[in-house]
Chain A
Amino acid sequence: DTEVTQTPKHLVMGMTNKKSLKCEQHMGHRAMYWYKQKAKKPPELMFVYSYEKLSINESVPSRFSPECPNSSLLNLHLHALQPEDSALYLCASSQVRTGNYEQYFGPGTRLTVT
């Protein structure tokens, strides 16, 4: 199984809502990532979890709150978002070892903030 799954596929939320994005993988990967991607732009790293601990936070606003409840799951909790946060949110996973950090991406959640 080389699949990373994400739910929901699409999400529309108001600026006062609270919602969560979910990501799951069963490849035994111990590194998981959240990226944000705007149209016609490359993915921008938001967070990295390594062995269920947050290892990188790319100065992301606190209205985005990541959580890694176990080695297979990764959540992104959203609260009080702004319209400019509308984007495709991609989850990825990889092995944790020196050298090849080939990342497998999920299909993404397309988020619209109204």
Chain B
Amino acid sequence: GQNIDQPTEMTATEGAIVQINCTYQTSGFNGLFWYQQHAGEAPTFLSYNVLDGLEEKGRFSSFLSRSKGYSYLLLKELQMKDSASYLCAVNYNQGGKLIFGQGTELSVKP
């Protein structure tokens, strides 16, 4: 299969740093995306990785290791508005078909 695994829930404190991990099957890998989804809203694009290494975009960074089938999303200086579901999605060489992980529900506490 093409199982994409990420933790179901995480809790962190406002102002802190949190890392959300994602593992996936490497065969046919053609890129990994992170999306943020607030309850009742559409997913919004956060980052894209296709080569090994770290991509930084403001408070959010995403890392990829293709050989290990591993990615993480790093959120710095957490804000209450960062409470949301974070979805890891992989493109498996099928013309834009994304396979989504189950999502990680992040709760940011004061």
Contact = CB atoms under 8 A, between A and B. Distances in A.
A94 interface: yes
Interface string A10-48: 000000000000000000000101000000111111001
Interface residues of B, number: 23
Interface stretch (A59-67, A72-80, A102-110): A102-110
Nearest to A48: B96
Given A100-B31, A105-B42, A107-B41, A94 B100 contact: no
18 contacts: A41-B103, A42-B87, A42-B101, A42-B103, A43-B87, A55-B95, A56-B94, A56-B97, A96-B96, A100-B48, A101-B91, A103-B33, A103-B96, A104-B45, A105-B43, A107-B42, A108-B41, A108-B42
B102 interface: yes
> Interface on chain B toward A: helix, strand, loop, or mixed SS?
loop
Interface in B40-61: 41-45, 48, 50
Contacts of B21: none
Contacts of A31: 95-96
A94 B42 contact: no
A50 B96 contact: yes
B74 interface: no
A81 interface: no
A103 B105 CA distance: 21
A69 interface: no
B18 interface: no
